[in-house]
């Protein structure tokens, strides 16, 4: 219950932040820009709209994680608002879960809004049939953002906003190239190769959440893919939040 209350408050904080309004506005502008560019891509306008629209959701969502998520806990410590929470009957893990849940909920709302806007644009172009593909791709993008938020909360719980932003960018970048990192590992001697493989396994497997190419062609993915991606996201978030809790449990608030 306390985690829910903190999540609700975090959601309220994020939705009242001007950053979020700016991000949604930027997403809409991006979608409109795709319509201006469509005549230049010789019949590939629909593909451009879907591809850029879905990429926009992912990138803009990541910006929200960077601007809000990486300072989610650190800012509370810095501003001392955390004193008013943790001096109440709230466990530290409930607090972290609440923070993560609140921001994740915000990102789901952003993703859903932009995904719906994308479908409206496609419908206006006569491609309303792309709806299921856009829905699935938006769902996977929101899952991806949920995982990245868990990573951001982990770093935010143990570090300063600036450092946690840097670490989150690093993990996000390596996570996006985790398949390439595994391929690269096989090119190196076993010791270094194993190290690279371990690093690739440690960072989130973000390509698992990317079905933009499929969606651009109007194809949907399998239920198995959606199920595996959901289970992986749940597992990764749990692990990241457990680590964050372990570090946060011993932390002093001076």
Partner 1 sequence: MRGVEIRNREGSASLARPHGEEPPDPSLAVCARGLSKIYRHPWTLKQTPALEDLDLEVRRGEVFGYLGPNGAGKTTTLKLLAGLLRPTRGRAWLLGLPIAGEPSRRRLGFLPEQPYFYDYLNGLELLELAGRLSGLQAHEACQRAKHWLGRVGLGDRPRLVLRKYSKGMLQRLGLAATLLHEPELVILDEPMSGLDPFGRREVREIIQEQRELGVSVMFSSHILPDVEMLCDRVGIVLGGRLIRTATVGELMGEGRCSVEIRCIGTPLLETPPRWRAHLSRVEHPEGTAFVLADAGLVDEVVGWLHSNGVRLRAITPQRATLEELFMAAAHEAPAVPGVRSA
- The binding site for partner 1 (CB under 8 A) comprises 2, 5-6, 9, 12-13, 16-17, 79-81, 83-91, 250, 252-254
Per-residue tokens: 183: 């391929």
Between 94 and 215, name the residue whose CB sits nearer to partner 1.
Answer: 94
Between 5 and 59, name the residue whose CB sits nearer to partner 1.
Answer: 5
Between 188 and 253, name the residue whose CB sits nearer to partner 1.
Answer: 253
Per-residue tokens: 128: 């309303």
Query: What are the two backbone dihedrals, phi and then psi, of residue 34, each rounded to the nearest 5 degrees?
Result: -60, -30
- State the minimum distance, in angstroms, from the CB of residue 113 to partner 1: 20
Between 61 and 98, name the residue whose CB sits nearer to partner 1.
Answer: 98
- State the minimum distance, in angstroms, from the CB of residue 27 to partner 1: 22
Query: What are the two backbone dihedrals, phi and then psi, of residue 218, each rounded to the nearest 5 degrees?
Result: 85, 10
Between 90 and 109, name the residue whose CB sits nearer to partner 1.
Answer: 90
Alpha-carbon distance values, 226 to 44, 49, 163 (Å): 27, 23, 33
Per-residue tokens: 61: 């969502």
DSSP 14-37: HHHSHHHHHHHHHHHHHHHHHHHH
Per-residue tokens: 44: 């590939």
DSSP 162-184: HHHHHHHHHHHHHHHTHHHHHHH
DSSP 60-94: HHHHHHHHTGGGTTHHHHHTTTHHHHHTSS--HHH
DSSP 207-218: GGG--HHHHHTT
- State the minimum distance, in angstroms, from the CB of residue 159 to partner 1: 12
Between 88 and 191, name the residue whose CB sits nearer to partner 1.
Answer: 88
Distance (Å, rounded) from C-alpha 41 to C-alpha 48? 8
Report residue 132 CA to chain centroid gap.
Answer: 21
- State the minimum distance, in angstroms, from the CB of residue 247 to partner 1: 13
- State the minimum distance, in angstroms, from the CB of residue 80 to partner 1: 5
Per-residue tokens: 239: 């692990």
Between 140 and 244, name the residue whose CB sits nearer to partner 1.
Answer: 244
- State the minimum distance, in angstroms, from the CB of residue 152 to partner 1: 19
- State the minimum distance, in angstroms, from the CB of residue 11 to partner 1: 12
């Amino acid at each position: 219950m306390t985690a829910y209350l903190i999540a609700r408050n975090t959601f309220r904080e994020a939705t009242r932040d001007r950053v979020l309004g700016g991000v949604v506005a930027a997403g809409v502008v991006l979608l409109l820009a795709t319509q201006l560019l469509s005549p230049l891509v010789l019949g590939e306008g629909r593909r451009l709209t879907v591809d850029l629209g879905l990429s926009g959701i992912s990138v803009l969502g990541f910006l929200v994680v960077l601007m809000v998520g990486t300072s989610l806990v650190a800012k509370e410590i810095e501003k001392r608002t955390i004193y008013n929470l943790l001096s109440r009957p709230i466990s530290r893990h409930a607090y972290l879960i609440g923070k993560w849940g609140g921001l994740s909920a915000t990102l789901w709302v952003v993703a859903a809004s932009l995904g719906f806007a994308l479908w409206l644009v496609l419908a206006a172009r006569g491609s309303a049939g792309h709806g299921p593909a856009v829905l699935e791709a938006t769902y996977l993008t929101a899952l991806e953002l949920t995982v990245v938020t868990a990573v951001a909360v982990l770093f935010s719980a143990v570090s300063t906003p600036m450092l946690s932003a840097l670490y989150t960018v690093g993990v996000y970048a390596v996570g996006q190239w985790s398949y390439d990192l595994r391929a690269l590992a096989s090119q190196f001697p076993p010791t270094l190769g194993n190290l690279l493989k371990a690093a690739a396994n440690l960072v989130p497997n973000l390509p698992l959440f990317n079905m933009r190419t499929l969606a651009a062609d109007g194809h949907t993915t399998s239920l198995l893919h959606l199920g595996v991606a959901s289970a992986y996201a749940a597992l990764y978030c749990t692990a990241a939040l457990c680590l964050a809790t372990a570090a946060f449990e011993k932390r002093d608030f001076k």
